Structure 1
Amino acid sequence: MWSFVAKALLAGVMIAAIAEVGRRLPAMAALIASLPLVSILGMIFLWHARPDAENMAVHAQSTFWFVLPSLPMFLLIPMMLRQGFSFWVALAVGCVLTLVLYLAMVQFGPRIGIRF
Structure 2
Amino acid sequence: MVYTAIKVLLTAVLVVAISEVAKRSTVFGGILASLPLTSLLAFIWLYGETGDAGKVASLSYSVFWYVLPSLVLFIVLPLLLARGVNFWLSLLIASAMTAAAYALTASILARFGVTL
Aligned equivalent of 2:85: 85
Aligned equivalent of 1:51: 51
Report the secondary structure of 1:45's partner residue: helix
Q: How big is each residue's C-alpha offset from its partner over 1:9-51, in whole Å with a ceiling of 9 and x where there is no partner?
A: 1111111111111111011101101110010011011111122
Aligned equivalent of 1:106: 106
Task: Answer yes or no: is 1:12 the counterpart of 2:12.
Answer: yes
Task: Answer yes or no: is 1:21 the counterpart of 2:21.
Answer: yes
Is the contact between residue 72 and residue 101 of structure 2 (CA under 8 Å) also seen in structure 1?
A: no
Q: Aligned partners of 1:9 and 1:78: how far apart in 2?
A: 30
Kindly report structure 1 stretches of 4+ aligned residues shifted beyond 6 Å: none
Q: Percent identity?
A: 35
Task: Answer yes or no: is 1:40 the counterpart of 2:40.
Answer: yes
Q: Aligned partners of 1:14 and 1:107: how far apart in 2?
A: 33
- Cα shift at 1:8: 0.9
Is the contact between residue 80 and residue 90 of structure 2 (CA under 8 Å) also seen in structure 1?
A: yes
Letter aligned with residue 71 of structure 1: L
Q: RMSD across aligned C-alpha pairs, in angstroms?
A: 1.2
Q: Aligned partners of 2:48 and 2:24: how far apart in 1?
A: 36
Structure 2 residues without counterparts, runs of 5 or longer: none
TM-score by structure 2 length? Answer: 0.93
Q: Aligned partners of 1:99 and 1:2: how far apart in 2?
A: 33
Aligned equivalent of 1:76: 76
Matched pairs, number: 116
